[in-house]
Amino acid sequence: MKFYGLKTCDTCRKAFKALTAAGHAPDYVDVRADGVSADSLSVFLDAFGAEALINRKSTTWRGLDDAERAQDPLTLLQANPTLMKRPVIETDTGRYLGWGKDVQDVLL
């Protein structure tokens, strides 16, 4: 299991703690400190779509100008990995976005 999140994100901390308590041993990838490969971002964009993957409510998004916001989603996420909605969790059986009840029901 691979867990993409931010160490400073409350939702990511709750999700990681719950997964660990449930017996999983996720490999934590801090999107700010470690970065996310272009290949992984492409896979996430294919799996979830740009509308779901890009967090347009974030302070990072609000700090971008119109030209930056108009960039190709892959380019935008490579330059600003914290724009990615979190967490993204990869398992052998699938990929999951966020930490809603639907994701918790599958993974816990």
Q: Which residues are catalytic?
A: 9
DSSP H or E segment with residue 29: strand 27-30
Query: How many Cα atoms occupy the beta-carbon half-sphere of 61 within 13 Å?
Result: 12
How would DSSP label each residue in 71-101?
A: S-HHHHHHH-GGGB-S-EEE-SS-EEES--H
